[in-house]
Each structure stands twice: as C-alpha cells, then as structure tokens.
Amino acid sequence: MQTYKAPLRDMRFLLHEVFDGTALASRPGEESLAPDLIDSILEEAGRFVEEVLAPLNASGDEEGCHYENGVVRTPKGFKAAYDLFREGGWTALACDPEYGGQGLPECVNKLVEEMICSANLSFSLYPGLSRGAYQALRDHGTEELKRRFLPKLASGVWSGTMCLTEPHCGTDLGMLRTRAVPQEDGSYLLSGNKIFISAGEHDLTENIIHLVLARLPDAPAGSRGISLFLVPKFLPDEQDRPDARNGVLCTAIEHKMGIKASATCQLTFENAKGWLVGAPHRGLAAMFTMMNSERLSVGIQGLAIGEAAYQSAVAYARERIQGRSLSGTKNPDQPADPIIVHPDVRRMLLTMRAYAEGCRALGLWVAQALDTIERSAEPAAREKAEDFTALMTPIVKALFTDLGFEAANLAVQVYGGHGYIRDHGVEQYVRDARIAMIYEGTNGIQALDLVGRKLGAHYGRLLRGFFHPVAAFIAAHKEDAAIGKMVHGLEKAFGALQLATAHIAEAGMRDPEEAGAAASEYLRLFGLVALGFMWARMAKTAAAKLANGADEPAFYHAKLTTARFTMERLLPQAGALYLAIKSGKHAMMALEEAAF
Ligand SMILES: Cc1cc2nc3c(=O)[nH]c(=O)nc-3n(C[C@H](O)[C@H](O)[C@H](O)COP(=O)(O)OP(=O)(O)OC[C@H]3O[C@@H](n4cnc5c(N)ncnc54)[C@H](O)[C@@H]3O)c2cc1C
C-alpha cells in the first residue's frame, strides 16, 4: 500500500521556525499573511490530496489514459477530482487577484504543489502546466490576450500546455520546424507536428490553451528565429466561450514507463489560428518564463515522490519482521525483529529522509526568492533574488529529481521483493519519478546551464547569493557548542565546492569541453553543499528549540539526528566529487567514437 500523509509539521517548522516565510511573503503595504491562515490552507490542501488525489494514484497508473479518434479520456475518477480541485480554488492559489487568483505567495504554493505531486504525480501535470502557461502569458502577452485567457487559466476551467518538442528536436530547439504565417487580422496560422505534449488533450477542462513555439516566414535560422504563440483548442467567441474547433488535433498518446494517467500527446497543427506572445523571434526568451517556473516545479516533483516513497518505506520497515537486531533481540514475542532495527535499512531510510526534508528546505528558500522578485519594492532586493533564482533553478531541477528517483529506488530496496512486485505500489514511484530527470531539459542540460551560463554570468556575481550566506553561517557557527561539529562537515564540503568552482572557471575558460565534462558532478557537489547548508540551518533551529525547552522534543531531536547523518554520511561524497571533477575530461573524451 502506498502511504501518504501530508508532512504538515515539517512544513510549519520550515515556514515559521527556520525561515521567516510569512514576513517575506507580504506585498508592500499589505498585512502579512497570518501564520494561522497559511497553516489552515496547508491543512486543507493536505486533507484534499490525501482524501481525493492519493486514492486515484494506483488506479490511474493501472488504467492509464484512453485515446480514440483524437479524443483522450483520463482514468476513472480524474474528472470528478479535477472538478473538486478547481471548485476548491486550488488552480488559482498563486494567481493574481486581478485575474481571479488568490495572490498567495510562492512559498505557500510550492508546498501545496509538493503535496499534490506526492499524492498523484500524473494528476499534478494537468494543473501544473496551466500554472506555467499563466505565468508566460501574464509576463509576455498583450493586454487583450491577458484579459481573455488569464482568468480562465486561473479558475482552471481552461488548462494550458507548453508545445516545444518535435520528433527531430528536443534539447536543440533551434531545429524546430513548426511554421506560423501572419494573417491580415493580426493573428497567425500555425502548421507542424509536436510530440510528447503533457496534457495536450484530455477531458478535464472545456478548453485547452497551447503555448506553441514556431517560426515566422522571415525567421533567422536557429534558436534566434523562434516565436511564441497562443493557440486554443476551441476559438473563444465574443463572450469568451469555447466556440469553433481550431486546427489542432491529438493524433496519438504515448505509451510510457510511468505517469500513465498523464496524457502525453502527439499534436498536429494544421492552419491552427493563434496569436503572438511577446516579440517576434523572441519566443524562447518568453518561453523561458514558463520553462523556469516549470523547472522549479519539476524539482518539486522529485522531492514529492521522494517524500511519498520515504513514508511508504518507513511504514513497511516498522511492520516487516526479518532477522534479529545485531545489538540483541528487540522483539522477543515475535520470531524476528522489524527490519527497521537493521543498520542497512536505517541507512536507506535516513538517506531518503535527509533528501526529502533537505530538498523541502532548499525549495522553500528558492520560493522565498521568487516572492521577493514578485513582491519587493526594492530594485536591489529584486536583483539579488533574481540572481539567486537563476543560479538555483538548474540545481533544484536536477538535484531534486535525481534524489527523488534515488529515494524511490531505495524504497523498493527497503521492501525487498515485495517492492518489485506491483501490489505495494512503490515500484510505481520509481517509474513515475524517472521522467522528472528528463523533461524540462534533461538533468545533463541543467548541469551545462549551471557551469556554462550561470557560473560565469556577470563575472561570477550569481554565486554570491549562495556562497556568501554559507560562508557567513560557517564563520558564525563553527565553534557553536551544539552544532559546531556538523558545521565542520559543511565547511569541508564547501571547501571542495570552492576549489571545484575555481577549477571549472579556469579549465572551462581554456577548453569548454572541460566544463562540459565536469558539469554533472559539479551540480551534484553544489547540490550536496546546499543540502548540507539547509540541514545546518535546521539543526541550529532545532538545537535552540531544545535548549529553550520547546514542546515536541522528539521532533527536534529527529531533526538534529538527521542533520548529523547528512553531515557524516552524505556530505563526505563532496571530496570524491571534487576529485572526479579535477581529473579533467581526458578519460571521458579519449576513446575514439568507433571504439564504443
Ligand atoms: C512523458 C513526457 C512528457 C513531456 N512533456 C513535454 C511537454 O509538455 N512539452 C514539451 O515540449 N516537451 C515535453 N517532453 C519532451 C521533453 O522535454 C524532452 O524529451 C527532453 O527535453 C529531451 O529531449 P529529447 O527527448 O529529444 O532528447 P535529446 O535532446 O535527443 O537528448 C538525448 C540525450 O542527449 C543529451 N544531450 C542532448 N544535447 C546535448 C548537449 N548539447 N550536450 C550534452 N548532452 C546533450 C541529453 O541530455 C540526453 O541525455 C516530454 C517528454 C516526456 C517523455
């Protein structure tokens, strides 16, 4: 059985005790969102996902989506669940009040997103893509497009997609062929084929708004000749009701490894009417608004699956009895002890826990920066937050999804053979988690973005937003009686990261292939240090709470113990990663292509 309870206590700990999330979240001149209000929203979201979405996770996986003559049906129960989701206002949570949204900050929205993804990753993709489409349209659309389409996306009666991928081009979007021909009325007619389009066709909403990358007739070759268009499935009438069917057709859905209840569609555009979003030939820049938002959300998917897998594995490890504890029988009334007594099982459980709680903290730190970008009146604060988000986006996307997949895999291992068979549902987590490492730019491409674009940007300015607070924290706490030893572990790993950064800056300048060869290990090293920093901050808060005689000492002790585990058992990997990075490209590039 998949086990999932929304981790509300941990969310409250982060929001109210580690970060001052609610203060940052308020708009200038607005009252701070009261912590009680945020807590009750999170509780309500937790209840909804546990009662409505989680029960459809395994059945949706079993049944999958159905395709017939261009029509896609989602699995049983999905439509009713989506209606409840929409009526509950969940699609509008972080949308702007002027378009019917609730205007809640990202740091609350991302926590809700996590719960939705833990409960049912396939379901999450339907409203998930709408959120990215909403943001791209809000930031780059004309007033007319915003007025007509944003309220529909916010209310969830219409949903969104992002249409980039074509059969011959995935990563290299410069090769895309879909064409857009300008019409006299200011609209465009689009023709071409897109594949792998999540939520490209389904029965949950009355209309679907595709954001499509295509080329204008006079477009220069490559990625500088791509424009962004809004193409609805049904063209809206004067009252903005879905009217004539547009020339976009779903020709098939993909049969795939996981997220089987999410419709992954092949779409054909045949003289489909659309409107330009943003400037001609500047579509990739506009689409990046959507892609950056989606990249953070995909990272949250990884964390979410890791959390769900962890909870299932703990429940199983408590009840499965096998063997005796190495330190003496723990369960004399039974023929064996529960497997949670064994060090190796604990290694797996604690690794999963360190990943999930560490990633949640890191995700929240980044979400706060998103709120600063949106809401701060201070240009300098906004610039700092933009730098930080730009730096951390590839790390959140790739690290969280790598760790989420590792955690799902560990959950199967905790279950042994019972994890590999379908009955318990943890193998679904492995299959579902796998895609998050691929879509929204593969994790390899995220690593290249980090070393190729982010490190060197503005002569290394982006790094300050991470390096300065880590260095300041280490200096302030390395002699601390309660957490000083842990901070030493962080200091060592941070030292490896600084050396690796200097190495890549120097070697990459000389030879870009050197940076490419080091990129994935560098992202992992950076991510490990970021997790270590989050755990050090959580440990500091927990130690202070215990020193002040806080309620729930077991919660804070568990935080301190998991922080220690992170520093002692996970962070030492930093040294090995540094050595691999420093070894250079030779071993990777020396083999002739024919010798593979
Ligand atoms: C279930 C699912 C849902 C999806 N949803 C959407 C969607 O909603 N909208 C959409 O537009 N797309 C969607 N995609 C497509 C997805 O984003 C692409 O599959 C992904 O970006 C990778 O492109 P590709 O599959 O063509 O792989 P390729 O680009 O062919 O890459 C293959 C391998 O080569 C590596 N590689 C490629 N170029 C480089 C390089 N320059 N340097 C180093 N390594 C490189 C990649 O990292 C990868 O390991 C979806 C895909 C799936 C499977």
pLDDT the model gives residue 34: 83
Q: Whose CA is nearest to atom 30 of ligand 1?
A: 170
How, if at all, do strands 207-214 and 158-163 pair?
A: parallel
pLDDT the model gives residue 211: 96
Residues in the chain: 596
* Any atom of ligand 1 within 6 Å of the Cβ of 515: no
Mean pLDDT of 529-543: 98
Look at the alpha carbons of 295, 300, 303, 305 in this order and tell me if their dihedral is positive or negative. negative
Active site (annotated) includes residue 440 = yes
Quote the DSSP letter at residue 462. H
- Give 171 Cα–ligand 1 centroid separation in angstroms: 5
Question: Which of 27-36, 191-200, 234-243 has the lowest average pLDDT?
Answer: 27-36
- Give 170 Cα–ligand 1 centroid separation in angstroms: 5
pLDDT the model gives residue 32: 59
Instruction: Considering the candidates 113, 201, 357, 440, report the single residue annotated as catalytic.
Output: 440
In this predicted structure, the answer to whether residue 26 has a pLDDT above a threshold of 70 is no
Best substitution site from 125, 196, 437 to test ligand 1's pocket, by max atoms within 8 Å of Cβ? 196
Element (H, E) at 236: strand 234-236
Is residue 302 within 8 A of residue 405, CB to CB? The reply is: yes
In this predicted structure, the answer to whether residue 290 has a pLDDT above a threshold of 80 is no
pLDDT the model gives residue 25: 47
- Mean pLDDT of the chain, nearest integer: 95
Reported confidence tier of residue 515, pLDDT bands at 50, 70, 90: very high
In sequence order, what are the beta bridge partners of 365? none
Diameter over CA atoms, the chain: 84
For residue 191, give Cα distances in angstroms to 109, 169, 172, 179, 342.
36, 16, 20, 5, 60
Token pair 């905790």 is at which residue?
Answer: 414
For residue 369, give Cα distances in angstroms to 16, 470, 473, 554.
16, 16, 19, 31
* Any atom of ligand 1 within 6 Å of the Cβ of 196: yes
First to last CA, the chain: 43
Q: Structure tokens of 48?
A: 């909804």
pLDDT the model gives residue 29: 44
For residue 49, give Cα distances in angstroms to 6, 26, 52, 414.
8, 26, 5, 25
In this predicted structure, the answer to whether residue 366 has a pLDDT above a threshold of 80 is yes
Q: Structure tokens of 340?
A: 């949670």
**Amino acid residing at 201:** E
User: What residues contact 33, with CB distance under 8 A and at least 6 apart?
Assistant: 22, 25, 26, 104, 105, 108
Distance of CA 194 to the CA centre of its chain: 23
Best substitution site from 165, 231, 291 to test ligand 1's pocket, by max atoms within 8 Å of Cβ? 165
Nearest Cα neighbor of 245 from 232, 264, 258, 259 is 232
Burial group, residue 193, by CB count within 10 angstroms (0-12, 13-18, 19+): middle
Nearest Cα neighbor of 273 from 252, 250, 245 is 245
Question: Which of 98-107, 311-320, 461-470 has the lowest average pLDDT?
Answer: 98-107
Q: Structure tokens of 592?
A: 């002739």
In this predicted structure, the answer to whether residue 340 has a pLDDT above a threshold of 70 is yes
Mean pLDDT of 368-378: 89
3-state secondary structure of 48: helix
Rg over alpha carbons for the chain, rounded to the nearest Å, is 24
In sequence order, what are the beta bridge partners of 272? 190
Nearest Cα neighbor of 235 from 210, 263, 267 is 210
Mean pLDDT of 401-415: 98
Mean pLDDT of 292-305: 93
Element (H, E) at 267: strand 264-277
Is residue 305 within 8 A of residue 429, CB to CB? The reply is: yes
Nearest Cα neighbor of 129 from 262, 270, 285, 283 is 262
Q: Whose CA is nearest to atom 27 of ligand 1?
A: 170
Span 108-141, pLDDT tens digits = 999 999 999 999 999 999 999 999 899 999 999 9
Question: Angle 487-24-31 (CA atoms, 0-180°, nearest 5)?
Answer: 145
pLDDT the model gives residue 291: 79
User: What residues contact 370, with CB distance under 8 A and at least 6 apart?
Assistant: 106, 107, 296, 385, 389
Q: Structure tokens of 142?
A: 């004309």
Nearest Cα neighbor of 433 from 311, 260, 524, 301 is 301
pLDDT the model gives residue 299: 98
Element (H, E) at 589: helix 586-589
Nearest Cα neighbor of 109 from 132, 93, 85 is 93
* Alpha-helical runs (H) found in 326-482: 343-375, 379-415, 417-420, 426-434, 443-448, 461-477
Reported confidence tier of residue 28, pLDDT bands at 50, 70, 90: low
In this predicted structure, the answer to whether residue 105 has a pLDDT above a threshold of 60 is yes
Token pair 């066709």 is at which residue?
Answer: 201
* Any atom of ligand 1 within 6 Å of the Cβ of 271: no
CA distance 43 to 37: 10
pLDDT the model gives residue 292: 79
Q: Show the beta-strand stretches assigned E in 6-152.
A: 66-68, 71-73
Query: b vs e for 230-246, b when ≥16 Cβ sit within 10 Å of the residue's Cβ?
Result: bbbbbbbeeeeebeeeb
Q: Structure tokens of 286?
A: 């506009």
Q: Which ligand 1 atom minimizes the distance to the CA of 444?
A: 47
CA distance 160 to 356: 29
Mean pLDDT of 5-30: 78
How, if at all, do strands 158-163 and 264-277 pair?
A: unpaired
